[in-house]
Amino acid sequence: PAFVAARRRNFQRLYQALEPYQDRLVLPRWHPRAEPSWFGFPIAVKDGSREALVQWLESAHIETRSVFGGNILRQPAYSGITCRVHGDLLQSDRIMREAFFVGVFPGLTEDMLAFMIGRFEEFFARSPARAGS
C-alpha cells in the first residue's frame, strides 16, 4: 500500500505542476472511478518539440521512455507480418511521434520531483510555443 500511495502522490505532484502547460502538452486522463497505480507519467507534446524536451530532460539525468512501441506495426520485428488493420492508425502514429513518459518511482523525494518539475519549467520558459500549437 505504501508503494502504491507513493506512486500516486508522485503522479499527482507532476500532474499539478504540468497543468499550466496544457497548451503545449496532453496530460494523462483516467476514468473518474478509477484509482490507477501509475508506473509512469505519460505526456504527449503538441507542438512537435518532443525530441527537444526529451533531450533537455535527459541532459539533466531525468530518464524518459517512449510510450512502448507506438504503432507496433512500424516496429522492425513486425514488418511483413500477416495481420488485419482496422482504420488508418493515425492516432497510434501520433503517440509514437509525440508521447513519452517519465517515472513516478516511489523512491522519488520531494527534492527530486522539484528538480524534474524545474527542468520542465525551464524548458517551457526558454522554448516559446510554436504558432498553431
pLDDT digit string (tens) for 111-125?
999 999 999 999 999
On the question of pLDDT at 133 being above 60, the answer is: no
Of the chain, the percentage scoring pLDDT greater than 70 comes to: 95
131 pLDDT more than 60: no
Q: In whole angstroms, what is the distance from residue 109 CA to residue 112 CA?
A: 5
Distances (CA, A) of 40 to 67, 125, 129: 10, 24, 25
Q: Which backbone phi and psi does 65 adopt, to 5 degrees?
A: -140, 145
Phi, psi (5° rounding) for residue 24? -120, -20
| 3-state per-residue secondary structure call for 40-57 | EEEEEECCCCHHHHHHHH
Q: For the whole model, what pTM was predicted? A: 0.85
The answer to whether 45 touches 94, Cβ cutoff 8 Å, is no
